[in-house]
Amino acid sequence: MFHNFIFLDIAWLILGVVLSIIFVWCIISRKKNYNFLWFHLLSKTYKNSYWYYIFLGMIAVITVFFWALLARPTELYETETVSRDGIDIQVVLDVSRSMIATDIQPSRIVAAKEILSDFLWELSSDRVGIVLFAGKPFTSVPLSFDYDFLIDFVSGISVDTIDQRFPSLLGTAIGDGMILAADGLLRDTIEREKIMILIADGEANTGVDPLVALKYLKDKSIKTYTIWVWKSEDTFIETIDGFGIRGKSPVQWVDETTLREISSQTGGKYYRADSPETLREIFTDISKLETTPIEVEVFVSEQHKYTEVLFLMLLLYMMFVGIYFVKKIEV
């Protein structure tokens, strides 16, 4: 049970044990200089009784528990290497302002997030990374097996994740997002199926031309699935100008031809996601791709045990107080 239990700062515990031993010895030695009020009352109340020494021992142990807390009690779990069959997936998600459009209920961005979370729940051996883009792309999560973290991260995504109040961050930089995601996939040289899932709802209007990025993906054999999140031609989003005046702005159409070209030339597939149900079908198709085994090193993890030590210390303290007052009444 305790074979992985250690103290990260054991010097504190050693110091506490030494000080406790010295303190108890000084009290027991009955030297006048160490005749503190509390111990003097104990000695006077339980003179020539073994309860005096029991109480001293309990006080010493409580003190040691206090120093043990400072020593950072921790349980370590050993590193191990396991084999996992799967693929590497980079999700490239558009978070431009048009993703708040409500032609897909409750909104494009919320629908994409919900289905992406469902997709992550189904995974067990695939590494997933996330790149968010608007006017510029950002690697938000590198390739990871930590699905709990990925799901938590996805739940917090919004169009405000990239602060588009800055003009340089406005727009839809599809090509830049593709290149950044591809670099994330290629950073690991392990031979493994590498795919990209591009989710966008608008036409590329800034950054690298998506067709230039396509050549890069083809050279690197990165299969790309493109998803157009769109339903209605007459779609508007609410806007607020610098004076706080609300208005409506039409949502641009996507360059559907380019998205089809990206998917077909990389061996992927193009989807038009006009409802949450369609998005769900898309991720179901992707989850059926051929997998490749990979050796994964699971790193040492730490689980701090402060609560357990504090509980023992408080339990012993309550026992001390309870016994003290019971014996005091008897005396």
Closest to 69 (Cα-Cα) out of 1, 21, 10, 3: 10
Secondary structure, 3-state, 299-315: CCEEEECHHHHHHHHHH
Contact status, residue 327 vs residue 54, Cβ threshold 8 Å? no
Contact status, residue 248 vs residue 199, Cβ threshold 8 Å? no
Map out the domains of the chain with their CATH numbers: 5-77+302-330 (no CATH), 81-297 (3.40.50.410)
Contact status, residue 73 vs residue 305, Cβ threshold 8 Å? yes
Residue 90's DSSP bridge partners are: 129, 196
Q: Return d(Cα 174, Cα 214) in angstroms, integer.
A: 11
With tokens 């839809």, the residue in question is: 172
Q: Return d(Cα 178, Cα 128) in angstroms, integer.
A: 15
CB proximity list for 314: less than 8 A, separation 6 or greater:
none
Classify 274 as helix, strand or coil.
coil
Residue 248's DSSP bridge partners are: 238
The pTM assigned to this predicted structure is 0.62
Give the pLDDT score at 136: 94
Give the pLDDT score at 33: 44
With tokens 């693929």, the residue in question is: 87
What is the C-alpha end-to-end distance of the chain, expressed in Å?
42
Pairing, β 73-77 against β 301-304: antiparallel
Which residue type is seen at 137? P
Distances (CA, A) of 24 to 34, 42, 159: 10, 13, 64
Give the pLDDT score at 37: 46
Q: Tell me the Ramachandran region of residue 190: left when phi exceeds 0, alpha when psi lies from -120 to 50, beta otherwise.
A: beta
For the chain, which ranges sit under pLDDT 50? 1-2, 32-37
303, two tokens:
């689980």
pLDDT digits (tens, 9 = 90+) for 167-214: 888 888 999 999 999 999 998 777 778 899 999 887 788 899 999 999
